[in-house]
Amino acid sequence: MHRTRQLVSQLSAAGQSNEREEVLYIANRCISALRVLRTAKRLGFRVVGGYCTSDAKESFVGALDSAVCLEGDDDGPSAYTNIPNVIKAAVAQGAKYIHPGIGFLSESGDFARACKQAGLIFVGPSPECLDLFGNKFQTCALATRLQVPNLSLGLVDRSGTLSPEQAAKLPVLLKATNGGGGIGLRLIHTKEEAADMYQRCVSEATRAFASSSSSSGDDNKNNQHAEICAEIYLSRARHVEVQLAGDGQDFVCLSDRECSVQRKFQKMIEIAPCPALDPTVREGLAACALRIAQETRYQGVGTFEFLVQDATYYFIECNPRLQVEHTVTEQIYRGLDLVAVQLRLARGLRLVPTSLQRASFGTAIQLRVCAEVYTPQGQVLPAPANTRIAAVNFPRGEFRVETFAKAGTVPNPKFDSLLAQIVVSAESFEQCCLRCVETLSELEVVGCPTNIALLKLIVQQPQFLHSQFTTSLVDRSLSTWLASLPPPSSSGGSSSDDESQPPSSFELIKGQSLLLLSPMQAHVVAISVAPGDTIVANRTVVAVLSALKMEHEIRCTRSGVVDKVITCAAGAAVDAGATLCEIILKEVQVDQLRETVVDNTKSPLFQQFYDKVKYFTQDASRPDKTGST
């Protein structure tokens, strides 16, 4: 097994006198802000921050030594990615350091440069390093040069047409070069799908990631977000990542993590170390991560991600920042605090390698508890608007929790649905699974629908218990699993306010007509049909809605002809249950299909929407990439 080396610098005395005069600004919110704040306080920093208007009553605001409302009209994710306003708030409160937290600006080279120009120390890698690793195509090109195996098939033509080499590898993944967390990512099986899915990737990634660059005043960099690369798709792969820290000269691999339990490419459960991983593969992953870190003289904490299939591994990307799942790595090492490592590296201290002492507990599992509703078909919807948590009852026993949720919390629909990270540890993977079941059985979030029951079901599946993970496991099995779950009750994680529940059906029959309703609170990206258009059941894309940081294609389960479109403006806000269009029911031959996805991203209405709402639904969301809760 690969011998790792621990950092001694983060374990040094916390209360040095010069630290107590230093001010740290946290450019983040909720769980991420609270996690960084806890370590910074222990190290003697005065901790300050900023917040958007709708976050004014969140617990992280009160926990800061001082906080200011971020200026501007933004009241959502873009408030935290407006670089000039964030810099202004940090300088106004006397900050010397800026910690980006998890997501938002944590991978922005522009932000790191702006901090340096303002005389602030960015807690993270250099701007040049962020520029490199923030682009998947460039990162894979580096890996190829270093003879690190990867799955890249190069950039896709802007027309959305696959090259002969790319088409020969179908099915393939289309990925935004600056995307992440399942955003700007689509799996395609045929060449005919490519153009439409290309547009979905471009639109989704632009909405989620472009504001960071535009806020810095460099509009040309928004073009980066329209670049899409192709990648070989592995249907039976495991997603394994290596945690690393470096100071530019010394580099330390701190074990690996299993991240294969995903829904729509978004992580749900993480395990450290990765169970049932071939020792040779484990050694190879660490060696590849070290090779890339050494070549780039990496400075900071980062994660190097791989896909593993049939004892063969492939590098896919590096996340040059702290990740949500860093907690499971900390849990298996005695005394390790990765935020402390970041802060001490920012202060110019070196890593002092020595042999690593394993913790008494050998396995840790993190469970992401989210405010979500699942339909019987496996669709994930945000919790209904204005859902208020009545109580949070955490279980007894030993476990770690990172959360901002408490009685009275109203999950903000403008951000990610993550409510809490529960980390359970035990001496073995099998024992850890049992503790997960016990913990989830006792955990209650009253008054708000959650995925607690689904998480409990997953950790009891034979595939999970026998470490037979693949990234497609949840998507293949979700509908079947959900069918076995009892209806949620108001005391077991569902909203007790019947009026806040989403409609039970999203299609209403009225005589020979059908009203297609929005299944979620969302914004309209595009209406893809017009009066007189033919609808083929389960085939025709009627509308594209944006919610939970993703773009959702809405189809109808009945065939017919569009009579009228009720909501047609791109950027319009719709509530769950709002009528999208009225369809006259009739039998339709498949060859009558009109499969058009309207690209409204270039229309004046859509641009006005961007300017006004400023990426209202962007992923402040994925705590993993562009934002954090």
Per-residue pLDDT tens over the stretch 558-616: 899 999 888 767 778 888 888 898 999 887 765 544 444 444 444 444 444 344 334 33
Task: For residues 388 and 390, give the distance between their C-alpha atoms in angstroms, rounded to a whole number.
Answer: 6
In the predicted structure, residue 283 carries a pLDDT above the cut 90: yes
Non-local CB neighbours of 565 within 8 Å, separated by 6+ positions: 527, 529, 530, 531, 580, 581
At 386, list the tokens.
Answer: 């204005």
What is the number of other CB atoms lying within 10 angstroms of the CB of residue 67? 22
Rounded to 10 degrees, the C-alpha dihedral 448/454/456/460 comes to: 170
What is the number of other CB atoms lying within 10 angstroms of the CB of residue 393? 11
So what's the pLDDT on residue 235? 92
Non-local CB neighbours of 498 within 8 Å, separated by 6+ positions: none
In the predicted structure, residue 351 carries a pLDDT above the cut 80: yes
| CB distance 580 to 506 below 8 Å | no
Q: Which of left, alpha, beta for 217 (phi over 0: left; psi -120 to 50: alpha)?
A: left
- The model's pLDDT over 73-100, given as tens digits with 9 standing for 90+, comes to 667 888 999 999 999 999 999 999 999 9
Task: For residues 329 and 254, give the distance between their C-alpha atoms in angstroms, rounded to a whole number.
Answer: 7
| CB distance 585 to 561 below 8 Å | no
So what's the pLDDT on residue 550? 75
Mean pLDDT computed over 62-78: 87
**Phi/psi at 285 (nearest 5 deg)?**
-60, -45
| CB distance 369 to 422 below 8 Å | yes
Task: Name the one residue in this structure whose structure tokens are 């904490």.
Answer: 301
| CB distance 546 to 617 below 8 Å | yes
So what's the pLDDT on residue 44? 95
In the predicted structure, residue 556 carries a pLDDT above the cut 90: no
| CB distance 317 to 305 below 8 Å | yes
Q: Between 386 and 595, where is the model more confident?
A: 386
So what's the pLDDT on residue 487? 66
Strands 172-180 and 183-188: antiparallel
Task: For residues 623 and 629, give the distance between their C-alpha atoms in angstroms, rounded to a whole number.
Answer: 6
The catalytic residue positions are 321
| CB distance 172 to 234 below 8 Å | no
At 388, list the tokens.
Answer: 């208020």
Average pLDDT, the chain: 84
What is the number of other CB atoms lying within 10 angstroms of the CB of residue 413? 22
Characterize 490-527 residue by residue with b for buried, 16 or more Cβ atoms within 10 angstroms of its Cβ, and e for exposed.
eebbbbeeeebbbeeebeeeeeeebbbbbbbbbbbbbb
In the predicted structure, residue 36 carries a pLDDT above the cut 70: yes
**Phi/psi at 48 (nearest 5 deg)?**
-125, 170
In the predicted structure, residue 38 carries a pLDDT above the cut 60: yes
In the predicted structure, residue 214 carries a pLDDT above the cut 90: no
In the predicted structure, residue 343 carries a pLDDT above the cut 60: yes
* CA–CA distances in Å: residue 49 to residues 60, 88, 161: 9, 11, 45
So what's the pLDDT on residue 181? 67
> Distance of alpha carbon 1 from its chain centroid, rounded?
31
| CB distance 184 to 260 below 8 Å | no
- The model's pLDDT over 485-500, given as tens digits with 9 standing for 90+, comes to 876 554 444 443 433 3
Q: Which of left, alpha, beta for 346 (phi over 0: left; psi -120 to 50: alpha)?
A: alpha
Mean pLDDT computed over 239-247: 96
Q: Between 599 and 557, where is the model more confident?
A: 557
So what's the pLDDT on residue 381? 80
Residue 423: band (very low, low, confident or very high) from pLDDT cuts 50, 70, 90:
very high
So what's the pLDDT on residue 126? 97
Q: Which residue from 394, 392, 329 is spatially nearest to 356, judged by alpha carbons? A: 329
Write down all domains in the chain, each with its CATH number in brackets: 18-123 (3.40.50.20), 135-299+335-352 (3.30.1490.20), 363-498 (3.30.470.20), 503-598 (2.40.50.100)
So what's the pLDDT on residue 414? 81
- The pLDDT > 90 percentage for the chain reads 58
Task: For residues 104 and 624, give the distance between their C-alpha atoms in angstroms, rounded to a whole number.
Answer: 9
- The model's pLDDT over 143-201, given as tens digits with 9 standing for 90+, comes to 999 999 999 999 999 999 999 999 999 999 999 888 666 778 899 999 998 998 898 88
- The model's pLDDT over 353-362, given as tens digits with 9 standing for 90+, comes to 654 444 547 9
Q: Between 18 and 291, where is the model more confident?
A: 291
| CB distance 381 to 373 below 8 Å | yes
- The pLDDT > 70 percentage for the chain reads 81
